[in-house]
Amino acid sequence: MSSAYLILEDGTVLKGESVGSKREVISEVVFNTSMTGYLEVLTDPSYAGQAVVMTYPLIGNYGICFDDMESGRPWLSAFIVREFSRIPSNFRSEDTIQNFLKRYDIPGIAGIDTRALTRVLREKGTMNGMVTTVAYSPEEVQALLPKIRAYRTKDVVSKVTCKNKYEFTDAGDSTPWPNLVGSRVELEEDRQGNVSQPASSDDDGMIRADDPALAGTVFSQTASTKESGSGRWGSAAGNGEEHFRVALMDFGMKKNIGRSLVHRGCRVMVYPAGTSAEEILKDHPDGIMLSNGPGDPKDCGDIIKEVRKLYDAKVPVFAICLGHQLMALAAGGNTYKLKYGHRGGNHPVKDLKTGRVYISSQNHGYAVDPDSLPAEVATPAFCNVNDGTNEGMSYTGKNIFTVQFHPEACPGPQDSGYLFDRFVRMMSRVKRENAEKTSGKEA
């Protein structure tokens, strides 16, 4: 077994065992405290440009089930763990994590004191680091440090977004796991109608086959990739239910955002991050969903301009994570980098309207400064119980609400899945109001 090294920007060198790719990469090093869901972490595009340290020491126990991938491939730069399981054991497991890393050319390191590393990142804040299999001499390491420090994730959204718009049509009926649309735990608002059975469709999956990184990759048959070619919303499913048409802006979306909408009866069209607001609005969506994504929101200047136009439009908007930050920036607010971010599945967020606390799935290094937005523009809707940072905004006089955490879960708790219901209700209400307005005019 060959060695691998993690060189932190402060000169610390940690030695471990190389697993997966032997590529040398420089990235930001962040830690995630989830005890399950490593595959979801690996394939969450928000980690693009980052090396992820798992604080739970035993990784790979239940193997790899391709159905659980949150995007078409892993996007993170490197994967740092204490110990990889000798064998995977789970009825759904199709492969080992070791093979998975190799297949997708992701460098992994095992045998690292991940707790010590986490404590360093907690104390000193997120750092850059290099993962390599080369045993550099101390002098060479010193020489590498400026390069490591200089690393910045930039324009990373354009790398992870889809190339063309397509309809997301996850085949809900065949979804192999239950409960994925959120828990039944006391919704804070009365749910009415709108929670319909998933629409069935012959199309399946949203993995972007055109991604260059996937060239030549053999997929398991359960994760086949197909993009609906038309780029138009299909006809309404014939079960008589109301279907809202959601435009989902893909900044690096996790599949379960699309799935959560589809399972609530929405028709979801996914747009590349660079799509102009005009183009989206031209398709007359009932609502717009801004997805999660990687990197510093302030790097997304062009996108922010388009989001501003969406803000000015009358269409209901629900935004998650990066989408939440971009909306804040578009509305004139500010974002800042957290010392070491929130990544894990145990963060309590408080709904400021009801006082209820929900355990949420989180993955972000930046946060919205709620004071940067005046109350006439937006008010905080959620805050983090631990450190008080902003976890969501509600836009005054608008049908826009945004959250920092991940109601789509995967990995993590499903407690805030009700937010998708809220979005559906919002679209329903706006549609009804518009219809009333139109009929009023006609009369």
Partner 1 sequence: MPKDHSIKKVLVIGSGPIIIGQAAEFDYAGTQACRSLKEEGIEVVLLNSNPATIMTDKDIADHVYIEPLTVEVVEAVIRKEHPDSILPTLGGQAGLNLAMELEEKGKLKELGVRLIGTTSRTIRRAEDRLEFKQAMEKIGEPVAPSKVVTNVPDGEKFAKQIGYPVVLRPAYTLGGSGGGIAKNQAELDEILANGLRLSRVGEVLVERSIAGWKEIEYEVMRDGAGNVITVCNMENIDPVGVHTGDSIVVAPSQTLGDKEYQMLRTSALNIITELGITGGCNVQYALKPDSFEYCVIEVNPRVSRSSALASKATGYPIAKVAAKIALGYTLDEIKNAITGKTYASFEPMLDYCVVKMPRLPFDKFITAKRSLSTQMKATGEVMSICNNFEGALMKAIRSLEQHVDSLMSYDFSSLDDGQLSRKLQDIDDQRIWVIAEALRRGFTVEGIYKATRIDPWFIDKIDHLVGMEKALKTQPLTDALLREAKRMEFPDSVIARLAGKSEDEIRDLRRGFEIRANFKMVDTCAAEFEAETPYFYSTYDGGEDEAAQFISRPGRHRTLTDAAESAEEAAGASESPKAARNKDGKQKKVLVLGSGPIRIGQGIEFDFCSVHCTWAFQKAGYETIIINNNPETVSTDFDIADKLYFEPLTPEDVENVVNLEHPDGAVVQFGGQTAIKLTEALMKMGVKILGTDADDVDAAEDRERFDEVLEKCGITRPKGATVFTAEEAKQVADRLGYPVLVRPSYVLGGAGMRIAISDEDIDSYIGNINRYAQEHPILVDKYMMGREIEVDAVCDGKDILIPGIMEHIERAGIHSGDSISVYPAKDLSPEVKKTIEEYTKRLAQNLHVIGMMNVQFIVRDDGVYIIEVNPRSSRTVPYISKVTGIPIVPLATRVILGETIKSMGYQPGLQPEADYYAVKMPVFSFEKIRDADVTLGPEMKSTGECLGIAKTFDEALYKAFLGAGIRLPKYNNMIITCCDEEKPAMVGIAKRFSAIGYTIYSTHGTWKALREANIPARQVNKIEKDSPNLMDLILGHKIDLVIDIPNRGIEHQQDGFVIRRAAIETGVNVITAIDTAQALITSLEDNSVQKLSMVDIAKIDRR
**Minimal distance, residue 175 CB to partner 1, in Å:** 10
Active site residue 94: no
Mark 34-63 with x for binding to partner 1 (rule: CB under 8 A) and - for no binding: xxxx-xx--------------xxxx--xx-
Q: Side-chain half-sphere of 230: how many Cα atoms within 13 Å?
A: 9
Among 22, 92, 149, 337, binds partner 1 (CB under 8 A): 92
Task: Quote the tokens at residue 402.
Answer: 């945004």
Which residue among 321, 342, 383, 410 is the active-site one?
321
- Residue number with CB closer to partner 1 (316 or 412): 412
Q: Tell me the two tokens of residue 282.
A: 């031209």
Q: How far is the CB of 227 from partner 1 (least distance, A)?
A: 25
Instruction: Count CB neighbours of 353 within 10 A.
Output: 12
CA distances from 63 to 77, 88, 184, 293, 335 (A): 20, 4, 29, 26, 37
Spot the catalytic one: 263, 324, 347, 406: 406
Q: Which of 250, 249, 242 is nearest to 267 (CA)?
A: 242
CA gap 375, 394 in Å, rounded = 10
Scanning residues 137 to 176, which ones bind partner 1 (CB under 8 A)? Answer: 176
Smallest gap, in angstroms, from Cβ of residue 182 to partner 1? 8
We find the least distance from the C-beta atom of residue 313 to partner 1, in angstroms, to be 35
Task: Examine residue 276 and tell whether it contacts partner 1 (CB under 8 A).
Answer: no
Q: Which of 263, 266, 408, 410 is the catalytic position?
A: 408
114: which 2 tokens? 């991940």
In sequence order, the 6+-apart residues with CB closer than 8 A to the CB of 100 are 20, 39, 42, 64, 74, 106
Q: Is 58 or 135 the residue whose CB approaches partner 1 more closely?
A: 58
Q: Candidates 3-11, 109-117, 205-213, 292-300 — which segment interacts with partner 1 by CB under 8 A?
A: 109-117
423 sits in the region (left: phi over 0; alpha: psi -120 to 50; else beta) called alpha
Q: Tell which residue, 92, 113, 88, has the closest CA to residue 17.
A: 113
Binding mask 3-32 for partner 1 (x = CB under 8 A): ----------------------------x-
Among residues 200, 301, 307, 290, the alpha carbon closest in space to that of 254 is found at 290
Instruction: Give one word for 93, left, alpha or beta, with left for phi > 0 and alpha for psi -120 to 50.
Output: beta
Site string for partner 1, 175-214 (x = CB under 8 A): -xxxxx--xxxx----------------------------
Which of 83, 203, 211, 299: binder of partner 1 (CB under 8 A)?
A: 83
Map residues 310-349 to x or -, x wherever contact with partner 1 holds by CB under 8 A.
----------------------------------xxxxx-
User: How many residues of this chain bind partner 1 (CB under 8 A)?
Assistant: 61
Write the binding mask 361 to 400 for partner 1: x where contact by CB under 8 A, - elsewhere. ------------------------xx--------------
Catalytic residue check, 406: yes
Count of CB atoms situated within 10 Å of the CB of 420: 25
Least distance to partner 1, CB of residue 106, Å: 19
- Compute the least distance from the CB of residue 40 to partner 1, in Å: 6
User: What backbone torsions phi and psi does residue 54 show, to the nearest 5 degrees?
Assistant: -90, 125
C-beta atoms surrounding 369 within 10 Å: 13
Shortest reach from residue 38's CB to partner 1, in Å? 8
Distances (CA, A) of 341 to 38, 228, 252, 310, 317: 18, 36, 18, 28, 25
Interaction residues for partner 1, span 207-246 (CB under 8 A): none
321 in active site: yes
Compare residues 23 and 115 and give the one whose CB is closer to partner 1.
Answer: 115
List residues with catalytic annotation: 321, 406, 408
Binding site for partner 1 (CB under 8 A): 31, 33-37, 39-40, 55-58, 61-62, 65, 68, 82-83, 85-87, 89-92, 113-116, 118-119, 122, 176-180, 183-186, 344-348, 350, 355-359, 385-386, 409-415
